[in-house]
Each structure stands twice: as C-alpha cells, then as structure tokens.
Amino acid sequence: MSATGSPIQHATPDHQGSVLPVLAIALIFGAAHMVTNGQYGFHRDEWQFLSDAQHLDWGFVPYPPLTAALEFLGLKMFGLSLVGLRLFSVLAQVLVIFVSGLMARDLGGGRLAQIFTAIAVALSPLPMFQATEFQYSSFDLLWWVLIAWCVIRLLRDDEPRWWVAIGALAGVGLQTKYSIAFELAGVLTGALLTSARRYIANRWFWTGGVIALLIVTPNLLWLIRHDFISYHFLQGIHARDVRLGRADGFLRDQFLLNANLFTAPVWLAGLFAYFRDRRYRMLAWMYVVPLLLFLMAQGRFYYTCGAYPMLIAMGSVVGERWLRTLRPVWRVAMVTLVFTGVFAVGIYATLRIVPIASSGPLRDFALQNNGDLREEIGWDELVAQVAAIRDALPGDQQAHLGIAVGNYGEYGAIALLGPRYRLPAPITTINSGWLRGYPQTAPTTLIVLGNPRERADELFTDCRLAGHTTNAWGVVNEESRDHPDIFVCGPARVPWGELWKHGPDFG
C-alpha cells in the first residue's frame, strides 16, 4: 500500500501504454451500430423526441430540453434518417467505451485492464441498447460516466479545478434527465464521508456548483412557469411502473442487464477496492448511494446503469494486478476464460438487442425476445392507413377533419410522416402534445386511434369502426395488440377547452 493509503499503484505512462487500442475498440463497436441501426424503424419513444424537436422549448412534460434539441439538430443535418438521427446515440456510446478504458488507465491499469474494460462495457446489454435507439438515457449514461472519470482525475491528481468540469456535466445532465440528481447525491455524499471533504471549502467546488446552476436555470424557470409539470409526470409514471411491476427485479437486473453478467466478479471487486482505497473511496459512495436511493424509491433497474463502467474499470485494474501473481500458464488460462465468457454473454445480448437482420431467423429471434424492437415496427403503415381512411371520406368531412391520437408514438408518427399524405396535425392531451393545444376551429369529423371503442364513444359522437392497425411483418406490439382499432367519429361531445382542463395525460 502506498503512502497515501491507496492499494492502487500509479502506473507510469510507459506501463499504461497508448490509448489507441481502446479508441479502436470504441470505434469498431460504433461502426457496427451504424451498420445495423437502419434495419427496422423508429421506436415509439423516438417519435416523441422527433415531435418535440419540432417545438423547441426549455422543457417538455416528460423530460428536460437537451434531447429534443439534439434531435432538432439531427433533423436539420440528416432529415428523417434512422442511421443519421441515431448517430448521436452511437457517438455517446463510443465515448462511453473510450472513457471507460481511460478510467482504467487513470486508475493505474495497463493495456490488458484498459482493453478488458472497454470490451466489457461495449458488450454489456444496457450500454449496447443505448446505441441502437435515440433515447435520452443514451446521453444520461454518457454524463454519468464522464462525471465518474472527472472524479477519478480529481482524486488522482488532487486537482480541484476538475470541479468545474463536474459542475458543467451536472448541469448538462440535469438538462437531459432529472434522475442524474441521484448520481450527484452520490458525489456529494462521497465527498462528505471521505477525505474529499477538503474540497468543500475550495473555490473550485463552488464554481462548479454555480456553473451547474447556470446551465439548468432555463429549465428551472420553465418548470416554474408550468407549475412543475414534469415533477407531476414523473410521479404519475412512477406509480404506473410500480403498479405494472416494471420496478420488479431491480437487484437481479443490476447483474443481468446493467453490466455484462460475466463481469460481475470484476465490478464487485472494483466496488470493494474503492471502499478499501482512501484516495478513491468517494467513488464507492457514488455507486452505493444511487443504488440504495433507487431501491428504496422502487426505481427502474436501468437508472443505475451509468455507475458500472467505473466499477468495471477499477475491478479490471485489481484483476490485472492479481494476474501478475499467477504462473504464466494460469495467467493465460484465466485471461482466456474471462474474455471468452464476456464475449459469449455479449454475443447472446447482441442477438437479442441489436437489429442485425431484416429477415430470417436472426430477425425472428430478436423480435421474439426484444419488446423494444417490436415497438419499431408498423409506424409507416399506421400513417398510410390513416391517410387511406381520410381519402375514403366525403369531401365535406375531409375539409373539416381532425386526427385524435391516444399516445405519443402515434402523435409523433403522424406529425412527422403525415405531411407527405397532407394529413392535418394530430391532436392529443398526452405529454407535451397537451401544451400545443387544440385546433381553434373545432373539427367536425375525427379519425380516432389509440383508444378503445368505449373511450372513443365517451369523447366523440357517432363513432364507427373504420380500420385496424396492422404491419406487414405480423409483429404483435402495443399498437397491434392494445389498441388496434381506428374509428371515424363526429364532433367532440364537449368543447375542446373542457377536455384540455383535465390534462395533461401522462404516457
């Protein structure tokens, strides 16, 4: 143990080696995602980001503004391109893989530890998934990892100016997903409970806090103007998730999904090493505090995904040092076993998560085992079906037509794809659609989708079944299973303003 009480010995640059192998690994995985990301269609959640990107603001009902702003930029650069718009998520994963390897390097790990960390993170189910779709959780993962790396550099070099970077990342993170506050709680708890408390009185610590506050202030003002609607959204969605059992298996999935299952001994060793290490103990609390808070609050398992790369990095460094104590033959055997196990789990996860094939048994296996991939199917056909129903209506009904939708996927698909069919803008009280209001001239005929017959009859007059939601692949997903019927109805039973008084609805 060193004089600082740290069991991790700082390596010389020669021992640490070049970062090029880690960069190459990150780029290879990024390229693989770019090749496969155009296979199916946009996910239901992606349609929500796309529709919100058409109405930029400092906040939206379900989330802060950054993700929609990135989607707006993507639309300007690439148009409605699967590969182009998902490029941002791929770049986020490339950075996550690369920075994970850097964390192992900065903790004193040699080339083996760095390469193992990068591959293990890349072949972990949740980080892998985050690169297959444009999700705010893709960028949330990146901010978690970057904050952890900055803390490592802060503690390794005893350089308090890293608090500026931590503050900037905290602000950007809060503009991406509010749950990063749990990681920040771990940062503050770790600082208070360890020798890092010496930084609390440092001006750079407070400078970082001011920077974070300045970055998040526009969204905070938006929340105040909108009566903290996002807080009420999170309450409602959390209650729904708990009711539906989506918070079940929280601890189990820390092992199965947040990290590659074969790395469990590695990241557990990393957590133990952080606790033993006086210099880096703060990072142990950055894992334990969010984990316990989410466990007590019945959060979803993936909320803690961003904490695992720092654990794998430290565990890889510890494992590399342990390997040096073994005889060469045993060392080779252990390295072969561990890499084989990580690749075996990773390949299986890839077959379930990544849209490798657009036909054949690989596609069928992925669609059978991955509900998120099923939610990418059928949106073009849905919009085409709505347009066909519109075209079958008499001219006077087409002239005063509205389209009422029951979820944000339908809203986004019609908002983005509808113009090519000259469809009117969709109407909904769901999430941020509620903020956009209703037509000033009330439509007298409505195409209603995303609602059961009972709800359609409750809201509108003279409803009749006009079509069904289907898809060419025969995939059973939320649209085709839960609300497949499309209705044509007469006017709303009450003025639209009355309907809006009861919103927004959360979904």
The average pLDDT across 435-449 equals: 95
CA 455 → CA 63, 395, 428, distances in Å? 27, 27, 14
Reference 263, options 273, 271, 255; nearest CA is 255
pLDDT-derived band at 2, boundaries 50, 70, 90: very low
Alpha-carbon torsion angle 136, 46, 83, 306, nearest 10: 20
Write out pLDDT tens, residues 148-167. Answer: 999 999 999 999 999 999 99
Tell me what percent of the residues of the chain surpass a pLDDT of 90.
95
Write out pLDDT tens, residues 61-83. Answer: 999 999 999 999 999 999 999 99
Question: Is pLDDT above 80 for 7?
Answer: no
Q: What's the confidence (pLDDT) of residue 11?
A: 45
Q: What's the confidence (pLDDT) of residue 18?
A: 87
CA 161 → CA 83, 121, 190, 207, distances in Å? 38, 28, 18, 9
Q: What's the confidence (pLDDT) of residue 16?
A: 66
pLDDT-derived band at 8, boundaries 50, 70, 90: low
DSSP calls for 179-206: THHHHHHHHHHHHHHSGGGGGTTSHHHH
Report pTM.
Answer: 0.95
Write out pLDDT tens, residues 446-480. Answer: 999 999 999 999 999 999 999 999 998 999 999 99
> Taking the domains of the chain in order of start, what are their residue ranges?
13-348, 379-501
Rg of the chain over all Cα atoms, to the nearest angstrom = 25
Pair 313, 277: CB distance under 8 Å: no
Indicate the helix (H) or strand (E) that contains 489: strand 485-489
Q: Which two tokens stand for residue 27?
A: 């780029």
What residues does 405 pair with on adjacent strands?
Answer: 449
In this predicted model, which residue has the larger pLDDT, 238 or 8?
A: 238
Question: Is pLDDT above 90 for 46?
Answer: yes
Q: What's the confidence (pLDDT) of residue 256?
A: 96
CA 407, CA 455: separation in Å to the nearest integer? Answer: 13
